[in-house]
Amino acid sequence: MAEVHTPALLLQGAVYLGAAVLAVPLSKRLGLGSVLGYLIAGILIGPWGLGLIAETETVLHFSEFGVVMMLFLIGLEIELDKLLELRMPIFGMGGLQVLLTIGLVVALGLFLHLDWRLALVAGMGVAMSSTAIAMQVLAEQGVLAQPSGRSAFAVLLFQDLAVIPLMILLLVIAPGTETATGFHMDWLAITKAIALVVVLIVGGKYLLRPILRYIANTGLREIFIAFALFLIIGVSILMTSVGLSMGLGAFIAGVLLADSEYRQELELDIEPFKGLLLGLFFIAVGMSVNLPLIMQQPWLVLGLGLGFVLLKLVLLFGLARGFGHKSQDALLFALTLSQVGEFAFVIFNAAADARIFPDDTASLLNSVVAISMLTTPLFMLAHGVYMRKRLNRKSARHDTFEEQRAVIVAGFGRVGQVITRLLSSVGQPPTVIDFDPNQIDLMRQFGHKAYYGDITRPDVLRAAGIANAKLLILAIDNAEDALETARYVHKHYPQVTILARARNRTYAFEYMDMEIDFVRETFAGALQLGEKVLTELGYSRFHAYRTTWRFRQHDEKLMWESHPIRNDMQQVVVNSLRMRNDLTRILTEEQQGNDRRERINQGWEQVGRPEAGSR
């Protein structure tokens, strides 16, 4: 820290906030998620980047408090009953995850003839996942309440619990520690820890709420916030004093308040602090990426980072499958927890302090951890793209088409249904294809049969009998898919007549290019509505009908005229202005009774004129 405290602090704050404000929105806009934005911002301003911030350790420790607050907030969301329901995933999945990871890493280390202590400590670090990153990811994916999210959370919770025995183990294996004294210390510490947790639970249950009520009744919001922060910090200090994780204490405090009437208020008040500190934490992680060290042994660092991530991925996926998750859920679960967590920093630094391995090794391992953290946002990005692809592009799977019919209707939504009903009622039931199984099931209840399949796929078209069909009706909602299908069929099956629904002018022009007949989706409906409006305005219904009909004729003419000149915006505008004037003239004349209608009337009335005049 600098001698003049305040300016230095403000300066640092400005750098952190500025970097976050610059990097995070950009990262979000690019679809990379906020975590990666923070990490990159950290790398940029860190000692190995622009060097705006020289010292990272303090910040990292301080900002770990963001994780603590996050656990407090998570606790607020979970009532005690629900927590008890999670026993199995917490101890089963979590326990297995930690033990298996440590076991595998140690085995690997021994296989490579490394020191067993180094291998064990590395295993302990690697077993941890980043609560901060994982929870952020789960929240951004909106899967916290889903099976994969719940399991991930349970595993994270166990890792938090496992910190205590792991730290003790660390002291035990440290060179020069007497095994006996080690164990002696353990028992005391464990007793203290258990005692504190009990005190916390009992005290929290009976004291916390009256205090909160008393403070809330003062009506001073900032005091309420101050107390909430004090509570979290206080519990964290108590927990560290007996060697427990701060996060665990905050989590317990949160759970105890989950069913209190102040839950929402606490959430709202703590949320911004949590967000900022968590952001700071990610920045700090970014800063701690030791670029020169990585540059010295880039392949080692990258290889270790990716290797650990891969190892964890496989293990987590298998574990989730073993616990009965669907492969899709298991994949998300594994990806979420695949990075090595912030607690690994603590373990490695503690191990270096205990002279289990040199500082350089700790530095190397820390970089490996940071690298692994970088992978998660990228994984999530890839996962998102993959899921979207899966959703958009249906599999090649399709139902077996029982017979081939002259008419194929693609899409069984609002448009396809009407066409199908119309055709069925005249004894010409079409072959109907849709890629939404729910829609197909729903319509089946009404006695309509449709086949499952993605019409944009040539093989599905073939199976549906496009080669022998007379008509293909494109009634699917996705305008782009419809156009693509039209292009394909137009090219490969020119004998098939295509009828399309065109979303708008742009699509209409595309169909006109191919000389494919189409209707403009909303045009007819809009005209019908307009006709009703005219009637309400006092037009006779036939007059309203004629007016809208004329409007429609005119509009269609305009479209045909704009088609060849559509790329020349100026001409299109000139033409449409001219046409609009024409239309106004026609309809005004009709309105003024100066039109065909009057001419007919006058014509008949004038029939008698010459005769009448000669009378």
Partner 1 sequence: MAQRVLILFAHPYAEASRVNRALLTAVCELPNVTVHDLYEHYPEQMIDVEHEQALVAEHDVLVFQHPLFWYSCPSLMKNWLDTVLTFGWAYGDDADALRGKPWVHAITSGGAANVYQRMAYNQFSIAELLRPFEQTATLCGMPYLQPFLTQDVNQLDEIALQKRAAQYAAWVQALVEGELPPVVHTAHAPQVDFLAGE
Binding-site ranges for partner 1 (CB under 8 A): 539-546, 593, 597-598, 600-601, 604-612, 615
- What does the CA dihedral 427, 428, 433, 438 come to, rounded to 10 degrees? -20
| Cβ proximity to partner 1, 29 vs 615, nearer residue | 615
Instruction: Determine the distance from the C-alpha atom of residue 280 to the mean position of all C-alpha atoms in its chain, rounded to a whole number.
Output: 22
Phi then psi for residue 309, to 5 deg, are: -60, -45
Residue closer to partner 1 by CB (options 374, 544) is: 544
> Please, which residue, 191 or 528, has the CB nearer to partner 1?
528
Nearer to partner 1, 248 or 544 (CB): 544
Phi-psi region of 243 (alpha: psi -120 to 50; beta: other; left: phi over 0): left
- In terms of Cβ atoms closer than 10 Å to its own Cβ (0-12, 13-18, 19+), residue 525 is exposed
3-state SS class at 433 = strand
Give whichever of 414 and 615 is closer to partner 1, judged by the CB atom: 615
CA distance 589 to 601: 15
Name which of 116 and 549 has its Cβ closer to partner 1. 549
Map 396-431 to HEC letters: CCCCCCCCCCCEEEECCCHHHHHHHHHHHHCCCCCE
Q: How far is the CB of 462 from partner 1 (least distance, A)?
A: 40
Distance CA 320, CA 328 (A): 10
The 8 Å CB, 24+ separation contacts for 351-355 are: 351/121, 351/170, 351/174, 354/170, 354/171, 354/174, 354/175, 354/177, 355/174, 355/175, 355/176
Are 90 and 154 in contact by the 8 Å Cβ rule? The answer is yes
Considering the complex, state which of residue 160 and residue 531 has its C-beta at the smaller distance from partner 1. Answer: 531
- Quote helix, strand, coil % in the chain, to nearest 5: 75, 5, 20
As measured in angstroms, the least distance from the Cβ of 147 to partner 1 is: 56
Residues forming beta bridges with residue 434, ordered by sequence position: 452
Contacts of range 61-64, beta carbons closer than 8 Å, 24 or more positions apart: 62/280, 63/277, 63/278, 63/280, 63/281, 63/283, 63/284, 64/246, 64/281, 64/342
Nearest approach in angstroms of CB 431 to partner 1 is 30
Q: Where in 383-508 does DSSP place strands (E)?
A: 407-410, 431-434, 451-452, 471-474, 497-502
Least distance (Å) between residue 502 CB and partner 1: 24
- Asked if residue 64 lies in contact with residue 245, where contact means CB atoms within 8 angstroms, the answer is no
- Nearest residue (CB) to partner 1, 444 versus 609: 609
Residue 553 CB, nearest distance to partner 1 (Å)? 15
Please, what is the minimum distance in Å from the beta carbon of residue 608 to partner 1? 3
Pairing verdict, β 497-502 and 431-434: unpaired
Closest approach of partner 1 to the CB of residue 426, in Å = 16
Q: Which CB, 230 or 542, lies closer to partner 1?
A: 542
CB-nearer residue toward partner 1: 395 or 528: 528
Is residue 336 a contact partner of residue 137, using CB atoms and an 8 Å limit?
yes
DSSP letter for each residue of 254-276: HHHTTTSTTHHHHHHHHHHHHHH
Indicate the residue among 395 and 601 with the shorter CB distance to partner 1. Answer: 601
